[in-house]
């Protein structure tokens, strides 16, 4: 089962009043496992960036000036998402903007049924509790310390972790099941996750690393840990 975890950054809240998408980030999942395939694109909105939006994502006019317009990247984007389910936090917002951009370049709309709204899932699962992406990271103990500003690809990677927790913390089966065909028609047993282009940062603090090293040192020269750390 292929899913795309997706996020966008925009110039504001409403495409009908002239707001545009300035960044799209997406992460591919296969049977709830990140494959390492991603889509990331900055987009020239062909308008100035409001100060309020700049404070959210830090994408200004000078940075976006030489980026492609949406019409130039529309085909690559559509090819990447295909007909996969789109996992989005507050899906109504992103789908509204994506469909506006697609409409302006005379391309088919994304059907609402293609979207999975993690905000709606979180509100149903934890009624009355904060359901922002940051709040869910705190709830599930997911490291979002690098999220100083909103960024579409980073937020998609974080949302992928949140999504798996929201659906029950399900452990991926690593494609061992052969009951369902893969993208190319083969069995899931033929699929293997590809290596991430950029390794995930370690979640261990320097204090934790130092404490572990001190513990291993006390075990002596024949400690198993020293064999595996060579």
Catalytically annotated residues = 150
Q: What is the largest CA-CA distance in the chain?
A: 69
Task: Measure the N-to-C terminal CA separation of the chain; round to a whole number of Å.
Answer: 39
- Residue with structure tokens 């992928």? 160
Pairing of strands 2-10, 85-88: parallel
Residues 6+ apart with CB under 8 A from 171: none
Walk across the sheet containing 33-42 and list its strands.
Answer: 33-42, 21-30, 2-10, 85-88, 115-117
Q: How far is CA 210 from CA 127, 139, 202, in A?
A: 41, 27, 14
């Amino acid at each position: 089962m292929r899913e795309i975890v997706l996020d966008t950054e925009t110039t504001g809240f409403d495409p009908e009043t002239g707001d545009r998408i300035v960044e799209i980030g997406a992460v591919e999942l296969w049977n709830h496992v990140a494959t390492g395939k991603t889509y990331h694109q900055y987009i020239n909105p062909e308008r100035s960036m409001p100060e309020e939006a700049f404070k959210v994502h830090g994408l200004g006019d000078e940075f976006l000036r030489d980026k492609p317009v949406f019409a130039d990247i529309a085909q690559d984007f559509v090819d990447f998402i295909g007909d996969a389910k789109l996992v989005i936090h507050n899906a109504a917002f992103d789908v509204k903007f994506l469909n506006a951009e697609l409409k302006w370049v005379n391309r088919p709309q994304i059907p609402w049924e293609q979207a999975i709204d993690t905000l709606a899932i979180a509100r149903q699962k934890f009624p009355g509790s904060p359901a922002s992406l940051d709040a869910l990271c705190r709830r599930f103990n997911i490291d979002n310390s690098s999220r100083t500003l909103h960024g579409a690809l980073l937020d998609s990677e974080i949302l992928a972790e949140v999504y798996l927790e929201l659906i029950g913390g399900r452990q991926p089966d690593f494609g061992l099941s052969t009951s369902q065909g893969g993208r190319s028609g083969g069995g899931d047993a033929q699929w293997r996750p590809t290596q991430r282009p950029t390794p995930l940062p370690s979640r261990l603090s320097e204090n934790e690393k130092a404490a572990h090293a001190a513990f291993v040192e006390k075990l002596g020269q024949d400690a198993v840990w020293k064999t595996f750390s060579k």
